[in-house]
Amino acid sequence: MEVVMDSLPEGGDQAPGERRVSGVGRLTARQLQMLELVRRGYRNRDIAAETGLRLTTVERHLTRAFKRLGVSSRTQAVLALERYMVERDRQPRRDDA
């Protein structure tokens, strides 16, 4: 999944050296990765196996992502992610201008 990265350092659950993703409630790259796997139909235990993270870590990333998005379900989070992807794809690319 292609994402646009910026370098706005903020605290929270951001790992050292991790960069934040523009849009989608200022999600970290890891939170965005978790949501992309949710979008693909992965359950939390499948995400943990795919990423090598503990189940509790996956749950924490998703809980924080839901909070930043202002949603309370996986379906709402996926819809927010897909809206972001549609809007991002509508933006003219720098090399197109």
Return the SS3 of 37.
Answer: helix
Residue ranges covered by each domain of the chain: 24-90
Does the domain made of 24-90 have the CATH classification 3.40.50.300?
no
Burial 53-63 (b: 16+ CB within 10 A, else e): beeebbeebbe
What single letter denotes the amino acid at residue 96? D
Span 52-92, pLDDT tens digits? 999 999 999 999 999 988 899 999 999 988 888 787 778 77
Span 45-62, pLDDT tens digits? 999 999 999 999 999 999
The pTM score is 0.68
